[in-house]
Amino acid sequence: KNRVSYFYDPDIGQFFYGQGHPMKPHRVRMTNSLVLHYGLHSKLEYYTPTRARAEDMKAFHADDYVDFLQNINPDNLSQFTRELREYNMYEDCPVFSGLYEYCQISAGGSLGAAVKLNYQTADIAINWAGGLHHAKRSEASGFCYFNDIVLAVLELLKYHQRVLYLDIDVHHGDGVEEAFLTTDRVMTVSFHKFGGGYFPDTGDIHNCGQGKGLGYSLNVPLRDGITDEAYHQLFRPVMLKVMEVFQPEVVVLQCGTDSLAGDRLGVFNLSSTGHAACIDFMKGFGLPLMLLGGGGYKIINVARCWAYETGLAVGADMDEKLPPNEYYDYYGPVGYTLTVKPTSRWEDQNSAEYLEGLRQTILERLSRLAAAPSVGFHERAPD
C-alpha cells in the first residue's frame, strides 16, 4: 500500500491569468473538489504547502529575476517595460494580480513533495499545482514563471544520486531539459508533439544532452492524433529500457493533461485511461514517485484526469459516475462521467513505420549509453 502525500492550497483557484488566457488555475480547485467528493482524501496525507521563499527560488533562478517577480504587479507595469521584455513577461506570460504568491504556492508544493520523498515519509507525493516545465533560469515562458520541477529535482539530488524526470505533457519539457543538460545525475525523458513550429519548437530526437550529460536527455517527438495504443507501443519499451539503463533512485513525473483528446491547445488523442497508464506503469517499479501537474486547457478534462490519477496513486476504485460537487454542472456536456474519451476529430498521423523507427533509434541509443564506461553508477562518488 502506497503512502501518498498530497499538496493543495485552497487559494490556488482564485488566481487569474486574464480574460481569454487558456491557463486557468481554477482547474486545480476543480480537481481537488473531485478528490474530496470521491473520498480520496481519507486515503492520503493532505497538506497545505509551505509557500516557497525567494531564497528557495534562487536555488535555480537568477536573483534579479526573482526580485523582479516579487516586486511587479499590474499597477506598476509601466515602470518596468525593459524588464518585462527581457524576462518575456507579456502575451503568454502576463503579470496578473497575486502572480508571485501563485508561484510560491506552485513551487512550495513541489518542494514539499521532494522533502517527503527525501525523508522517506511518502512513497508517492502529488502537487497538481506544479509541473511548470517551460520556465528558464531568468525567463518566463509558456505560462510558466518559476520552474518548480527544477527546484524539486535539485532538492531530491541532495539525497539521491540519480533522478529520472519524465514528461507526458503534449509540449516538450524544455526548461527542465535545459537546466540538467550537462549532468548525468538527472535523465530527462519527454514525449511530446514536435514539428510545424509547435511550441516550444525544441525536443527533436537528435537533442540528447551535452558534455557529461550526453545521452541523458531523451526526446520522443510525436505527430498529431496519437492514440493510447500507439503511445504505449513506444512508452512501455522506452521506459523499461530507461529504468534498466539509468537505474534512478526516484522518479519525477510531469502529468500535463494537454496530451488528452479534446484539449484546447493539444493535438493528441489520448484517453484519461491511456494517460493514467503511464503513471501506473512507472508506479509499478516501486520507486519513490512525484506526480506533478502541467498543461491542460479543457478544465473539465484536466480535473477528471488528475482526480482519476490521484485515485490510482492511492489504489482506490472510482465510480464512473461523478459524485455531486461544487462544479457538478460543468460536467453536463460529458454526461457527468469520469473518463476522458478519445475523439474522432483527430486522424492519427503517427504511422506504424514512424513509430517503429523512433522506437529503434531510442532503444539503440539507450543500449549505447548502457555500454558507455561513464555508466559505472554504483561506485561513483557524488558530484
Q: What is the pLDDT of residues 207-242, one digit of tens each?
A: 999 999 999 999 999 999 999 999 999 999 999 999
pLDDT at 68: 98
Whole-number average pLDDT of the chain:
97
Cell (9 digits) for 106: 506552485
Q: 359 pLDDT exceeds 60?
A: yes
pLDDT at 344: 81
Structure confidence at residue 380 as a pLDDT band (50, 70, 90): very low
Asked about 192 being catalytic, the answer comes back as no
User: Could you say which of 21, 26, 37, 134 is catalytic?
Assistant: 134
- The response to whether 87 counts as a known ligand-binding position is no
> What's the alpha-carbon Rg for the chain, to the nearest Å?
20
- The response to whether 142 counts as a known ligand-binding position is yes
Q: 379 pLDDT exceeds 80?
A: no
Residue-by-residue DSSP string for 233-244: HHHHHHHHHHHH
**Distance of alpha carbon 226 from alpha carbon 224, whole angstroms:** 6
Give the whole-number percent of the chain exceeding pLDDT 70.
97
Q: 381 pLDDT exceeds 70?
A: no
- The response to whether 108 counts as a known ligand-binding position is no
Q: What is the pLDDT of residues 253-289, one digit of tens each?
A: 999 999 999 999 999 999 999 999 999 999 999 999 9
- How much is the average pLDDT of 352-379? 84
- The response to whether 297 counts as a known ligand-binding position is yes
The pTM of this model reads 0.97
Structure confidence at residue 178 as a pLDDT band (50, 70, 90): very high
Half-sphere exposure of 375 (CA within 13 A, CB side): 17
**Distance of alpha carbon 351 from alpha carbon 355, whole angstroms:** 6
Q: 163 pLDDT exceeds 60?
A: yes
- How much is the average pLDDT of 320-325? 99
- The angle that helices 299-314 and 272-283 make with each other, rounded to 10 degrees, is 30
- The response to whether 184 counts as a known ligand-binding position is no
pLDDT at 374: 58
Q: What is the pLDDT of residues 113-155, one digit of tens each?
A: 999 999 999 999 999 999 999 999 999 999 999 999 999 999 9
pLDDT at 371: 86
Cell (9 digits) for 365: 541509443
What are the structural domain ranges in the chain?
4-379
CATH class of 4-379: alpha beta
Q: What is the pLDDT of residues 183-210, one digit of tens each?
A: 999 999 999 999 999 999 999 999 999 9
| Amino acid in the structure at residue 33 | S
Instruction: Using alpha carbons only, give the angle 267, 196, 261 rounded to the nearest 5 degrees.
Output: 0
pLDDT at 378: 47
**Distance of alpha carbon 159 from alpha carbon 328, whole angstroms:** 42
